Amino acid sequence: MDRITKIKIGRRKFLRVSAMVAAGGVLLAACGDTVSPTNTPAAGTTTVAGGATSLKLGVLLPFSGVYTQLGLDIVDGMNLYFESIGGVVAGRKIELLKEDEENDPQAALRKTKKLIESDKVDLLTGIVSSAVALGIRDTVDQAKTILVISNAGAKDITGARFSKYIFRTSFSNGQVPYPLGEWAYKNVGKKIFMTAPDYAAGRESVEGFKATFVKAGGTVVGEVYPPFGKTSDYAPFLTQIQQAKPEAVYAFYSGTEAVNFVKQYEQFGLKKDIPLVAAGFIVEQDTLPALGGAALGIKSTLHYADSLDTPENKKFVADFTSKYKRTPTTFALQGFDSARFIVEGLKVVNGDTTNKENLVKALEGVKFISPRGPLEIDPTNHGLTQNIYLRDVVAGSDGKPMNKVISTFEKIQDINTLLKN
Ligand code: BEZ
């Protein structure tokens, strides 16, 4: 059972943290009708009613540090989907074994080995940080454990360091701002300053934006990369931006770093003169309540907006809001989609996780209409081709800031494919 504790973030925001992260697993589903599975029970596997073994899903996510809320949102999205199917797939009860990725590749590697070697999980999912994804990639590949990444956008995971056992149901870092570069050149400014935390996700996000901005004719007048996970005072970096006199700024930040950066950008007096364009993580539902008016007018691109007017999204937003009493973020959506992706693949192989090659083939064929739009894995790189939405932060009918979709860029491919063209 999850024990819920509260920790304070910033001035007002309270986060729910699962104490089970350290302690072990959670049996998610109530016992339903079970069918005899074709898999062989691994040592330590729970045998459930009807003789079927539970499906152990290792969930590695941040439950501490700047990306805590992202991890919590992904878990909530996953639970929403698993509960919608009664917590059982092909007769196997779904059991989540959660571990904290700690925003630290070394710690995450230890947790990965524990989940694979001691807990003997059937599959792995989660991973928010690109640095963590890159750090655990070889261990996952060598163990032939199937990993479904529900956030981390590291380019090499679907490129130079591709593994047939790793799938990504979220985005690639450069894919998200790729269409924004050209749009910003035409609509916002010709001279840009770029800033992001100093690690793979930040640098790759800048690279994706720059590819189309520079091709369109734009000039980059400066770049700055504050230390990742350690920066809360952006004043020295904002000074550099001011001195470079750009016509616009491109930024990638997420979690508590996004809140600090955007608030200080306004307090420093930059917002009124230099428009901020961004990868949409900066103004998601996890940051908007704390940002308030500081977020208004920020144009961003992302593969989701909770305001998308489709039946699939309306249902997702209504179900999520009713269960958790808050609006879903893109991270919650990614958790929901990752859970469905895993379940759709498992259904094809009748819950058999022992034949990895069959399960890989089944997952390569999964497609469905997600709340974000059509979701289809590219079998050549295990990344996604998906719509990217241009959003503008406006005051909603309740006066609170929300992302209004102003344009859709259809079928944007994984960044490795885009950069080849
Ligand atoms: C990443 O590290 O890949 C990442 C983290 C937060 C938001 C988006 C990407």
How far is Cα 192 from Cα 219, in angstroms, rounded to an integer? 6
For residue 421, the model assigns a pLDDT of 81
Instruction: Output the average pLDDT for the chain.
Output: 90
280 lines ligand 1 (CB under 6 A): no
Statement to judge: residues 318 and 287 lie in one domain = no
The CATH number of the domain holding residue 66 is: 3.40.50.2300
Statement to judge: residues 229 and 355 lie in one domain = no
Query: Which residue lies with its CA nearest to atom 2 of ligand 1?
Result: 129
pLDDT at 4 over 50: no
Q: What band does 21 get if pLDDT is binned at 50, 70 and 90?
A: very low
Statement to judge: residues 282 and 416 lie in one domain = yes
Statement to judge: residues 79 and 136 lie in one domain = yes
Q: How far is the CA of 344 from the centre of ligand 1 (A)?
A: 25
Query: Which residue lies with its CA nearest to atom 6 of ligand 1?
Result: 254
Query: Which residue lies with its CA nearest to atom 5 of ligand 1?
Result: 129
- The model's pTM is 0.89
Statement to judge: residues 292 and 356 lie in one domain = no
| Tens-place pLDDT, residues 356-402 | 999 999 999 999 999 999 998 999 999 999 999 999 999 999 999 99
Statement to judge: residues 208 and 333 lie in one domain = no
For residue 52, the model assigns a pLDDT of 67
For residue 355, what is the DSSP state?
A: -
152 lines ligand 1 (CB under 6 A): yes
Statement to judge: residues 278 and 395 lie in one domain = yes
Statement to judge: residues 338 and 401 lie in one domain = no
pLDDT at 22 over 80: no
| Tens-place pLDDT, residues 253-264 | 999 999 999 999
For residue 14, the model assigns a pLDDT of 30
281 lines ligand 1 (CB under 6 A): yes
128 lines ligand 1 (CB under 6 A): yes
Q: How far is the CA of 38 from the centre of ligand 1 (A)?
A: 37
Statement to judge: residues 314 and 397 lie in one domain = no
Query: Which residue lies with its CA nearest to atom 3 of ligand 1?
Result: 152
Q: How far is the CA of 276 from the centre of ligand 1 (A)?
A: 19
How far is Cα 333 from Cα 286, in angstroms, rounded to an integer? 13
pLDDT at 38 over 50: no
How far is Cα 103 from Cα 65, in angstroms, rounded to an integer? 7
Average of per-residue pLDDT across 31-56: 48
How far is Cα 393 from Cα 300, in angstroms, rounded to an integer? 8
Domain limits at 16? 4-172+310-382
Average of per-residue pLDDT across 54-61: 98
| Tens-place pLDDT, residues 239-250 | 999 999 999 999
Contacts of 314 (CB under 8 A, 6+ apart): none
Statement to judge: residues 107 and 250 lie in one domain = no
Q: How far is the CA of 35 from the centre of ligand 1 (A)?
A: 39
Statement to judge: residues 335 and 405 lie in one domain = no
- Cβ atoms within 10 A of the Cβ of 297, count? 14
Query: Cα–chain-centroid distance for residue 156?
Result: 16
Q: How many domains does the chain have?
A: 2
For residue 27, the model assigns a pLDDT of 37
| Tens-place pLDDT, residues 175-212 | 999 999 999 999 999 999 999 999 999 999 999 999 99
Statement to judge: residues 230 and 297 lie in one domain = yes
How far is Cα 242 from Cα 45, in angstroms, rounded to an integer? 58
* Ligand 1 binding pocket mutation candidate from 66, 129, 198 (most atoms within 8 A of CB): 129
In the chain, pLDDT over 70 holds for what percent of residues?
88
Average of per-residue pLDDT across 302-324: 98
